[in-house]
Amino acid sequence: MKDYKKRVPAEYYEAINGGGRIEEVTYDSVVYCQDKAPVKKRALVYLPAGYDENTDNYRVLYLMHGGGGNEEEFLYGQDKSRKLIHILDHMIASGELKPLIVVTPSFYYSDLQSALHDIKEAGVLTKHYHNEFKNDLMPVIDSRYRTVADRDHRAFGGFSMGGETTWEMFLNCLDLVKNYIPLSGDCWIVEEKGGATFPEKTSALMKEYLKEKGFDGLSYNVFAFTGDEDIAYPALSAQIKAMLADGWNNGSDKVLKFESWKEGTHCYEYIYEYIYNIVAEIF
């Protein structure tokens, strides 16, 4: 059995010659959680080595940052060391990972700065993010880039509040995206950190929600990872325990995997390790 505890090789943190490149996309959206005022949004796009030379269509992994972050944080890193870009370049160069496109948007609006420092306000934005994904971001990505535009070839993941975003995406976009990577963040469908306070209710409400949407028969892969010393561990582990008891891990069609790394804390250094272990497996 796979244990998903492989460490990123040290050299994967360093740049390679002839790796992928980063583009930026801007797109029109609206403030879905408020007055629907028009806004411009921005996302970064990682295009793998070889994108320009061949005519393949590519899978797309969307990754959402955590509270207080922005659309540059995942790929460039909080210290701008570009670690995730280098890891992806190495994995693709070595053949461990089939080339893919990675898109990093943001749930924040540049005009609503207060949410940057208020976790409750951030929770409102993450709850509504799926609207922007479906209406505004995904169509731009699929029209501008050579993507395999179907649910099997899309994945959405995120760290912390980006993990919350990922659970909301799962509930609202399961018809569009099959694969999910919620990292160190629980689902706030019941309340803030409801995975800890109401794990069974969270699982039951999620089931009901998918049923109401007509999504309850759809297949999925959900890889939820965190660390034993992560501040999100109590909430995510309790939620997953309730979900497993509720039959969310139903064979090959409906996959829910949970891993907790020993000594893992709430920071990107671990998130890169989790992604390294998950990305070649999930789709």
Using the contact rule CB under 6 A, the part of the chain among 41-49, 54-62, 107-115, 159-167 near ligand FER is 159-167
Among positions 105, 157, 163, 227, the unique one binding ligand FER when judged by CB under 6 A? 163
Among positions 161, 171, 190, 271, the unique one binding ligand FER when judged by CB under 6 A? 161
Among 211, 233, 103, 212, smallest CA distance to 163 is for 233
- Which 115-144 residues touch ligand FER, going by CB under 6 A? 119
Rank residues 141 and 232 by Cβ distance to ligand FER and give the closer one: 232
Residue 201 C-beta: closest distance to ligand FER, Å: 16
Question: Which amino acid, one-letter code, is at 19?
Answer: G
Using the contact rule CB under 6 A, the part of the chain among 29-37, 55-63, 161-169, 275-283 near ligand FER is 161-169
**Burial 9-28, CB ≥16 within 10 A → b, else e:** eeebeeebeebbeeeebebe
Instruction: Tell me the CA distances in angstroms from 236 to 67, 88, 226, 259, 260, one per residue in order.
Output: 16, 26, 8, 10, 10
Rank residues 136 and 186 by Cβ distance to ligand FER and give the closer one: 186
Over the window 222 to 251, marking each residue x when it contacts ligand FER by CB under 6 A and - when it does not, the resulting string is: ---------xx--xx---------------
Among positions 72, 136, 164, 168, the unique one binding ligand FER when judged by CB under 6 A? 164
Question: Which amino acid, one-letter code, is at 185?
Answer: G
Are β-strands 220-227 and 179-183 bridged in parallel, bridged antiparallel, or unpaired?
parallel
Distance CA 257, CA 34 (A): 35
Among 89, 82, 87, 73, smallest CA distance to 17 is for 89
3-state secondary structure of 132: helix
- Which 169-208 residues touch ligand FER, going by CB under 6 A? 185-186, 193
Structure tokens at 113: 């700065």
Neighbours of 214 (CB within 10 A): 10
Using the contact rule CB under 6 A, the part of the chain among 7-15, 93-101, 158-166, 267-275 near ligand FER is 158-166
Instruction: Tell me the CA distances in angstroms from 234 to 4, 134, 237, one per residue in order.
Output: 20, 31, 6
Among positions 66, 99, 105, 194, the unique one binding ligand FER when judged by CB under 6 A? 66
Instruction: Tell me the site size for ligand FER, rule CB under 6 A.
Output: 14
Among 190, 247, 256, 187, smallest CA distance to 224 is for 256
Among 68, 61, 77, smallest CA distance to 125 is for 68
Which residue's Cβ has the minimum distance to ligand FER? 67
Rank residues 231 and 244 by Cβ distance to ligand FER and give the closer one: 231
Rank residues 147 and 237 by Cβ distance to ligand FER and give the closer one: 237
Q: Is 73 in the site for ligand FER (CB under 6 A)?
A: no
Binding site for ligand FER (CB under 6 A): 66-67, 119, 160-161, 163-164, 185-186, 193, 231-232, 235-236
